[in-house]
Amino acid sequence: MRARLLPWPWLLLASIVAAAALIPLLAGDELADFGRALQPPGPAHLAGTDHSGYDLAVRSAQGLRISLVIAATCAVVATVLGAVIGIGSVLAGGWVDATVMRVVDGVNALPHLVVGIVIAAMWRGEPLAIIASIGLTHWPAVARVVRAELLAVTDAGWVQMSRLSGGSRWFVARHHLVPAVTGQAVVAMVMLLPHAVWHESTLSFLGVGLSPDQASLGTLLGQARGDILSGAWWTLVVPAGALIVTAWTFAASASALRRRHEPPTERVW
| Cα separation, 269 vs 259, whole angstroms | 22
* Whether 62 contacts 28, CB under 8 Å: no
Phi first, then psi: what are they for 55, rounded to 5°? -65, 125
Is 67 domain-assigned?
A: yes
Query: How does DSSP assign 4-46, residue by residue?
Result: PPPHHHHHHHHHHHHHHHHHHHHH------GGGTTPPS-SS-T
Is 50 domain-assigned?
A: no
Is 193 domain-assigned?
A: yes
Is 152 domain-assigned?
A: yes
Which pLDDT band, with edges at 50, 70 and 90, does 226 fall under? Answer: confident
pLDDT in tens, 190-224: 888 888 888 888 888 888 888 777 778 888 888 88
pLDDT in tens, 92-137: 878 888 898 899 888 888 888 888 888 888 887 788 888 888 888 8
Number of structural domains in the chain: 1
- Residue-range definition of the domain harbouring residue 224: 11-23+57-261
Helix (H, G, I), strand (E, B) or coil at 49: strand
**Residue with more model confidence, 49 or 170:** 49
CATH at residue 253: 1.10.3720.10
148 pLDDT more than 80:
yes
Is 266 domain-assigned?
A: no
| Cα separation, 206 vs 210, whole angstroms | 10
pLDDT in tens, 25-81: 887 777 777 778 888 888 888 888 888 888 888 888 988 888 888 888 988 999 899
Is 231 domain-assigned?
A: yes
Nearest Cα neighbor of 189 from 67, 68, 66, 83 is 83
The angle that helices 234-261 and 178-205 make with each other, rounded to 10 degrees, is 170
Determine the average pLDDT of the residues in 231-250.
88
Is 41 domain-assigned?
A: no
Is 2 domain-assigned?
A: no
Q: Give the DSSP H or E segment for 115.
A: helix 112-122
Specify the pTM.
Answer: 0.79
